[in-house]
Amino acid sequence: MNNSEKPSPHPLRKALLITEFSSLAVLLASMGWFSSQTDTGHTINPAWLLIPAFASLGVFISFIGLMYLRWVVAASAANQLRHKLVFSLLALTLISVWVYGIASTWLSLNAA
């Protein structure tokens, strides 16, 4: 194989990157909007928190998808089962942390 010939990227890679960075932009914009709303003394309806929640989920899911492409799809056939197992544990941990963060935020809103 010649050095100038690079393997073509996975077809989902571009879509996952677009999703990750657009979700990140929505997340940062919503955080900026929330901080400007609380500076003026307005109270924020808890339903507005669904925007950053879904944006952060988009970031997590696309990050996990890119990790899958990088670790599992690119792994050799001999190591693929081990890579899938480690990836599954890591993905489950990341999603669990997201669920815990969203649940604790929502519960703290209802307790106040």
Residue 1 belongs to some domain of the structure: no
Domain count of the fold of the chain: 1
**pTM more than 0.85:** no
> Which is more confidently placed, 38 or 15?
15
Residue 22 belongs to some domain of the structure: yes
Residue 25 belongs to some domain of the structure: yes
Residue 65 belongs to some domain of the structure: yes
- Please answer whether residues 90 and 65 qualify as being in contact, where contact means their C-beta atoms are separated by less than 8 angstroms: no
Residue 7 belongs to some domain of the structure: no
Structure confidence by residue, pLDDT tens digits, 46-98: 888 899 999 999 999 999 999 999 888 887 888 888 889 999 999 999 999 99
State the pLDDT at residue 37: 81
Residue 73 belongs to some domain of the structure: yes
Angular region, 103: left φ>0, alpha ψ -120 to 50, beta rest: alpha
